[in-house]
Amino acid sequence: MDHLFEFLLRQGDNALVLGHRTSEWCGVAPALEEDIALANTALDLIGQTQLWLGYAAEVEGKGRSANDLAYLRDVYDFRNALMLEVPNNDFGRTLMRQFLFDAFQVPWLTALSASSDERVAGIAAKSLKEATYHLERSSETVIALGDGTDESNRRMQDALDYLWPYAGELFGQDATDQAMQDAGVAPVPASMRSVWDTQIEQTLSAACLSRPDTSFAHSGGCNGSRHTEHLGHMLAVMQTLQRSYPGAVW
Amino acid sequence: MTAVSDISEAQIWTYLESVPDPEIPVISIVDLGVVRSVEITGKSVEVTITPTYSGCPAMAVIAMDIETGLAKHGITDVHLKTQIAPPWTTDWLSEKGLARLADYGIAAPQKAGGPACCPRCQSKAVERVSQFGSTPCKAQWRCTDCLEPFDYFKCI
């Protein structure tokens, strides 16, 4: 296995799958400003996907492009974290997921900006500016909704309880993670845990939400061994054009 | 038609000064700070650009506009190179660009994270409507004195 390729797929697929899920809000968000914010967030993530998967395709060296990787792979070739593929549900869960992910991405991309691989460092430094902006919005929104009405507080707590068992997968340390650390490309994601915990605690406390009392974590997305049933349905929509009209271009 | 060999890099920069940003046409792509370098090698011209936001759809249009903009001056052997590091920052907006944005009604980016004043009435009584706006590079704000909504160029 080419660990660098695998590592790049994880970064690209996280951005792609969350980017696609977020884009599902386009036109149906609860307010015009939120609709625009969600569409812009999705756009940033899809842009980051092009950079990560573009580099992944080069590293793979089989003549595939970023588009080939996005539109012509099936469920078990995807390497995104499970938390990012589960359905959006309501606006609260969408923003809670964005917050849990952003709180990971900011320290993670900060660390990757110092990668020994200068392409990784460049993509990370670019994405970090966007992730920092996303975190500002998602954390403020989690606080506004958590510390809002009884209903918004209940919905945010439900969202957190639902997503929590998925969040732990972000902090992996498998053979690929270890190989990337040995090569100086990236620290193991598990080392981000304490920074993430601090951010989460600060925000949840300001949002009047309680951190779930479990450390159970689903796994299987980042290594492709066991995705949820939802990813296939998402890909069926996302990939329909390339599946129906192979090779179609603008 | 002018031979590329007779054209200086400074001349190419001047040509690029007249290529407008497709989303904010009052400023040029040079004022926007996306053109990193221009290099003439033999008969071909290489223009290096840095994207503003990684997913900004205007970047594809900017690439096309550079090619057509230079073709107007007989320069057809153009190579575009994308460079993402160091990442684009609003610090690269030119003084001229900032002044034109203000005239156009777009508040200039500020390190403090919000507009210094309303670009229409100059009041400092402004509030944020949304962190995002009509393009990836802008946010929506509102003046609570003249009541006009306006765009603010996000500071990154």
Would the CB atoms of A37 and B87 count as touching at under 8 Å? no
pLDDT of residue B5: 65
Of A36, A46, A130, the CB nearest to B130: A36
pLDDT in tens, B111-122: 888 999 999 999
Q: Which residues have CB under 8 Å from A39's CB, separation 6+?
A: A22, A23, A25, A26, B132
Of A36, A37, A126, which has the smallest distance from its Cβ to B84's Cβ? A126
Task: Go through the domains of chain A in sequence order and give each one's CATH number.
Answer: 3-244 (1.20.1260.10)
| CB of A115 less than 8 A from some CB of B | no
Q: How many angstroms separate the Cα of A150 from the Cα of each of A34, A146, A157, A191, B96? A: 21, 9, 11, 36, 50
Q: Which residue in chain B is spatially nearest to A118 when comparing CA positions? A: B85
Per-residue pLDDT of A11-49, as tens digits, reads 999 999 999 999 999 999 999 999 999 999 999 999 999
Q: Using 50, 70 and 90 to split pLDDT, how confident is the model at B99?
A: very high
ipTM: 0.88
Domains of chain B: residue spans and CATH: 4-90 (3.30.300.130), 105-153 (no CATH)
Residue A243's CB: how many other CB atoms inside 10 A?
A: 12
